[in-house]
């Protein structure tokens, strides 16, 4: 399965770049996302619980980044395992280009869904993937556009931040970024990153963008339901 999307975000590219590197923003944009953790600089984990129709599933996705061209482009690959429901693997190329003061975000994703979800849920996979991606980017664009004053994330190892007291889901109205997002990096980011690891935002960009797209797919897998009325 392949799908693509294009979103115009009313913010400069640097802001988008910074925001997309902010795990807390991403966490807010991903429906049902409980946490995004960076285990090592190239190994990320997201935990998501999703519920669609009668299906409710919790799954874990692992992400790694492969090609980086900060701040314009990256390639993210990853996989998610939903236990008995099946698995997903996939990748996404995300590009940011400047467009009249705003930013054009274009992604191309491909995903492979395997196991029971593919076998019994194929009628719903594509639709749900699109819907999920749309929901994510709509929330992302809104939050970033409204929160242009968002500070750039600091070096990953430096400042563990407290967890937000409330995490709005994309279906409810997103709060302004400045209010919703604590300054600093995500609480789950490990404080013991090796010193030689370049604290470039691009690293995190990759893994999190992957979360954006591939986890959307993983959610799809998890939310496929049996085709019986």
Partner 1 sequence: MTPFTYHSPATLDEASALLLESPDARVIAGGMTLIPTLKQGLARVDRLIDLAGIEALYGIETRGNTLRIGAMTRHHDVATSPLVLARLPGLATLAKGIGDFQVRNRGTIGGSVANNDPAADYPAALLALGATVITNRRQIAAEAFFTGMFGTALEEGELIAAVAFPADIRCAYAKFANPVSGYAMAGTFVALAEGGVRVAVTGAGPGVFRSTLHEAALRERLHPDAARSVPLPEDGMISDFHATAAYRAHLVSVMTARALEELLS
Partner 2 sequence: MAGFGIGQAVLRGEDRRFITGKGRYVDDVRLPHMLHAAVVYSSHAHGLIRSIDTHEAKQAPGVVAVLTGQDALADGLGGLPPYFMPSDMGGPPGHRTIRPILVTDRVRCVGDRVAVVIAQSAREAREAASLVAIEIAPLAAVTTPAAATTPGAPAVWDECPGNVCFTLEFGNREATDRAFASASLVVALTILNNRISANPIEPRVALGTYDAADDSFILHTSSQNPHGVRHVLAQSVFGLPESRFRVISPDVGGGFGMKADAYPEDALVLWASRRLGRPVKWVSTRSEALMGDNHGRDQISEAELALDDTGRALGLRVRAQQGLGAYVQSAAVAPITYAMRMLPGVYDIPAVHCSNSAVFTNCSPTGPYRGAGRPEACFTLERLMDEAAVLLGLDRVEIRRRNLIPASAMPHTTATGVTYDSGDFAQMMDRCLVLADWDGYDQRTADSESRGLLRGRAVTTYLESAGVFNERMELRFDPEGNVTILAGTHSHGQGHATVFPQLVHEWLGVPYDQIRYLQGDTDKVAFGRGTYAARSSLLGGTALHAAAQSAIAQARTMAAALLDAAETEIDFADGLFSVRGTNRSLAFVDVAKAFFRPMGKPGGLSLGFTVQGTAGGESPNFPNGAHVCEVEVDPETGAIHIDRYAVVDDVGHVLNPMVCEGQIVGGIAQGLGQALIEQVVYDPENGQLLSGSFSDYGMPRATMMPLHIQSELAEIPCKTNPLGVKGVGESGTIGSPATLVNAVLDALRSVGVTDITMPLTPVKVWTAIEQARQTTRDAA
Which residues of the chain form contacts with partner 2 (CB under 8 A)?
83-84, 86-87, 89, 112-116, 118-120, 122-123, 226-228
User: Which one, 8 or 56, has the nearer CB to partner 1?
Assistant: 56
Give which of partner 1, partner 2, none residue 218 binds (C-beta under 5 to 8 Å, depending on kind): none
Closer CB to partner 2, residue 4 or residue 119?
Answer: 119
DSSP classification of residue 173: P
Contacted entry of partner 1, partner 2, none for residue 136, CB cut-off 5 to 8 Å set by kind: none
Cis before residue 184, ω within 30 degrees of 0?
A: no
107 or 221: whose CB is closer to partner 1? 221
- Give least dist CB 145 to partner 1, A: 23
Q: How far is CA 132 from the centre of its chain?
A: 11
**Residue with Cβ nearer partner 2 (127 or 158):** 127
- Which residue in 2, 4, 40, 53 binds partner 1 (CB under 8 A)? 53
Which residue, chain included where needed, has tokens 């995300």?
94
Residues in binding contact with partner 1, number by CB under 8 A: 29
Is residue 144 a contact partner of residue 9, using CB atoms and an 8 Å limit? yes
Over its C-alpha atoms, the chain yields an Rg (Å, rounded) of 16
Which string of x and - marks every residue 112-141 that binds partner 1 (by CB under 8 A)?
----xx--x-xxxxxxx-xx----------
Residues 155, 202, 26, 191, CA torsion sign: negative
Of the pair 72, 118, the CB lying nearest partner 2 is at 118
Q: How far apart are the first and last CA of the chain?
A: 25
Binding partner at 113 among partner 1, partner 2, none, C-beta below 5 to 8 Å by kind: partner 2
Residue 31 near residue 135, CB atoms below 8 Å: yes
C-alpha neighbours within 13 Å on the C-beta side of residue 54: 6
CA–CA gap between residue 61 and residue 80 (Å, rounded) = 4
Interacting residues toward partner 1 by CB under 8 A: 52-57, 84-85, 116-117, 120, 122-128, 130-131, 171, 222-229
């Amino acid at each position: 399965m392949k799908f693509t999307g294009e979103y115009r975000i009313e913010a400069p590219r640097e802001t988008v770049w910074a925001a997309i590197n902010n795990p807390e923003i991403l966490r807010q944009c991903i429906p049902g996302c409980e946490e995004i953790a960076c285990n090592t600089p190239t190994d990320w984990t997201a935990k998501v619980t999703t519920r669609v129709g009668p299906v409710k599933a919790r799954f874990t996705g692992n992400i790694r980044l492969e090609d980086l061209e900060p701040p314009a482009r990256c390639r993210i690959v990853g996989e998610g395992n939903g236990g008995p429901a099946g698995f997903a693997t996939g990748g996404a190329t995300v590009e940011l280009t400047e467009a009249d003061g705003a930013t054009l975000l274009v992604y191309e994703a491909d995903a492979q869904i395997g196991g029971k979800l593919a076998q019994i849920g194929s009628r719903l996979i594509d639709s749900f993937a699109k819907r999920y991606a749309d929901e994510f980017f709509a929330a992302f664009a809104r939050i970033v556009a409204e929160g242009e004053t968002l500070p750039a994330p600091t070096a990953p190892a430096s400042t563990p931040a407290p967890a937000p007291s409330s995490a709005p889901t994309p279906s409810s109205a997103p709060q302004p970024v400045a209010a919703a997002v604590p300054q600093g990096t995500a609480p789950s980011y490990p404080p013991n990153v090796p010193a030689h690891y370049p604290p470039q935002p691009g690293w995190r960009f990759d893994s999190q963008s992957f979360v954006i797209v591939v986890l959307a797919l993983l959610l799809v897998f998890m939310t496929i339901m049996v085709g019986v009325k």
